[in-house]
Amino acid sequence: MPLFDLPLEQLEKYRSSVVEPVDFDEFWDQTLAEAQSFDLAATFEPVNNRLAVIETFDVTFAGFGGAPIKGWLHLPAHREPGKKLPAVVEYLGYSGGRSLPNQGNRWAQAGYAHFVMDTRGQGFGGSFGETPDPHPSAGGVAYAGLMTRGINSREDYYYRRLFVDGFRAVQAVQRHPAVDPHRIVLNGISQGGGISLAVAGLVAGRLDGVIGVLPDVPFLQDFPRAIDTAAKGPYPDIFAFLSRHREKYEGILKVLNYFDGVHFAARAQTPVLYSVALADDVCPPSTVFASYNAYGEKSGDVRKAIEVYRFNNHEGGQEHHWVKQLDFLQTL
């Protein structure tokens, strides 16, 4: 498809028009304080994954509201006794779930502890999940899907729960004795990339141990721009909702502003490697650059880089980008 967004030289300078709420930090301080009032209760049960070189544990921990969140922890089976491993915490793309224990363990193949967080209320797409969302939103009507679930209230919005789950996932993986709690990397594609950036912002000044972030074609960045430009994927759900609820636009933008990845990125303090695809009509490149250009600006000098895939849509760099991610991790 032809490139539809701004030219690259403009993308490299693009800044989002979003202005963060004055009580953004207060809102998230309160949200995380509520979450921390529940015992993390992280458990790791070994499972038979039928793989000779990977060990897998069925993980359960308490996420938002104390709800049980599932995950897989994959470890290299043949590792040096007593040596703790750096861990990659992976957040999944929209509609995906953790699936089977013998799937999706490539970071463990590369020698890392690999924690895959199941996504509450999802797992209805190409891979299945096992974590329900037991907190139905009280925000009234919504469009099909998750983008407008609870969108009339920042307290009820779906991604408030999911971002808290992501924060608690870091705490959970830090509890396993094979994991070095001081060497945690956040990773994800699309929605997973958006969650990784949200968690990077939430851990800053609140939780030690995160040393890097790998957001790949990240979703949930620069909502106003995304609503206007994304032709496919979940963002058009908001567009469709507003086509029937014409009076709600300003109110919805106020709610979404508490969940915009641009604000979380600005607070992040760890080295980051982004990716962006210039033909991406699901997560438009301007929304990704809005986040990248804001990354670390509240923290001072933060090392950051972005890989640009000019001729790709939302698939991005795929296996080619994973090689670059592996090389980046070697520098942390």
Helices (H) and strands (E) in the chain, counts: 11, 9
Q: Are 121 and 154 in contact (CB under 8 A)?
A: no
Residue 11, helix vs strand vs coil: helix
CA dist 32 to 69, 77, 162, 203, 276, Å? 16, 35, 12, 10, 30
Q: What is the residue whose two structure tokens read 């038979």?
A: 48
Cα(259)–Cα(188) distance, integer angstroms: 17
> Which of 39, 93, 64, 312 lies closest to 218, judged by CA?
93
Q: Are 286 and 255 in contact (CB under 8 A)?
A: no
Active site residues: 190, 280, 314
Cα(76)–Cα(55) distance, integer angstroms: 6
CA 294, distance to chain mean position in Å, is 17
DSSP of 309-331 = ETT--TTTTHHHHHHHHHHHHTT
For residues 92, 93, 99, 103, the Cα torsion angle rounded to the nearest 10 degrees is -80
DSSP of 263-325 = HHHHH--S-EEEEEETT-SSS-HHHHHHHHHHTTTTTSS--EEEEEETT--TTTTHHHHHHHH
Q: Give the up-direction half-sphere exposure of residue 134: CA atoms within 13 A in the CB hemisphere.
A: 11
